[in-house]
Amino acid sequence: VAHRRFVLLGIAGVIALVVGLTVTSLGENLTYYLYPTEAVAQRADFPDGERFRLAGTVVGGTMVQTDDEVIFDVTDGGATIGVVLTEPAPSLLAEEVPVLLEGAWSADHFVADDVLIRHDENYEVPDEGGAYPDQ
């Protein structure tokens, strides 16, 4: 009986440890995904430097490439946020393309250091406007 109790206690301990570790690790590794409207509404919850992911579409005609930055606006149809991308822009980044940016607020704009292009599962063309001219 003592043996059985020992085993049960051990199993309960392991389960408690696993659940505890899982919950704490989960809390530390969550990234929030916000659309521009939500990001503006929840500005107070995400102070400067607090990282989150911003999902939206690059507004046409706003993209400006400088030596070490790319500047453009991102919108979800509601709010529009100015983005400064500090990484070199991947070739996939273009106007009117849905993007997922990782970064943080800095005053009134979003500083991103990572871009993930959101592939539409069906690969429907968002814009026939020739974002990729022949070279």
Partner 1 sequence: MLALLGSAGVVAAIIGSVLLVIRGIRSARGGTADLVTPSKLILAGAVIAMAAMQIALLTDDFSLAYLANQHSTTTPFPFDVATAWAALEGSIVLWGLILAVFIWAVAARHRKAPDQLEAAALAVMGGVAVFFFGLMITVANPFEVCVDALATGCAGSSPWPFATVDVPADGPGPNPLLQNHYMMAIHPPILYIGYVGLTVPFAYAIGALALAVPGPEWLRRSHRSTLVAWSFLALGIVLGGWWAYEVLSWGGYWAWDPVENASLMPWLVATAFLHSGLVQQRRGMLQAWNFILVISAFSLTILGTFLTRSGTINSVHSFTQSAIGPALLGFLVLVLVGSFTLFSMRSHLVATSPRLESFVSREGGFLVNNLLLAVFAFIVLIGTTYPLLLEAFSGTRVGVGEPFFNRLAVPLSFLLLLTMGFGPVTPWRGAAPGLLWRRLRAPTLIALSLGIVTVLGVTRLGWVVLAVVLGTFVAGAIVGLLVEQTRIRAEKTGRPLLAEARTVIGNDKSFWAGQLSHLGVALVAVGMAFAANLPLNAQVVLAPGDSVDFAGYGLVYDAPFRRSEPNRVVQGARIDVYQGDRRITTLEPRLNLYGSNPSPIVTPAVMRRAGGDLYLTLRRTDSETIELDLDTSPMVWLIWLGGLTAAAGGFWSLAARKADRAVTQEVVTTDV
Which residues contact partner 1 by CB under 8 A?
3, 7, 11, 14, 18, 21-22, 25-26, 28-34, 53, 88-92, 94, 97, 117, 119, 121-123, 125-128, 131-132, 135
Angle value at C-alpha 28, between 108 and 31, nearest 5 degrees: 45
Q: How far is the CB of 93 from partner 1 (least distance, A)?
A: 9
Nearer to partner 1, 108 or 135 (CB): 135
Angle value at C-alpha 83, between 47 and 65, nearest 5 degrees: 150
Q: How far is the CB of 91 from partner 1 (least distance, A)?
A: 4
Nearer to partner 1, 80 or 96 (CB): 96
Nearer to partner 1, 71 or 92 (CB): 92
Alpha-carbon distance of 59 to 56, in angstroms, equals 9
- What burial class does residue 4 get, using C-beta atoms within 10 Å of its C-beta: 0-12 exposed, 13-18 middle, 19+ buried? exposed
Within a 10 A sphere around the Cβ of 22, how many other Cβ atoms? 10
Q: What are the structure tokens assigned to 78, written together?
A: 């509601």
Nearer to partner 1, 66 or 135 (CB): 135
Q: How far is the CB of 119 from partner 1 (least distance, A)?
A: 7
Nearer to partner 1, 34 or 111 (CB): 34
Q: Among all chains, which residue has been given the structure tokens 């590794």?
A: 29
Determine contact, residues 55/99, Cβ cutoff 8 Å.
yes
Q: What are the structure tokens assigned to 75, written together?
A: 């919108």
Q: How far is the CB of 65 from partner 1 (least distance, A)?
A: 10
Q: How far is the CB of 56 from partner 1 (least distance, A)?
A: 13
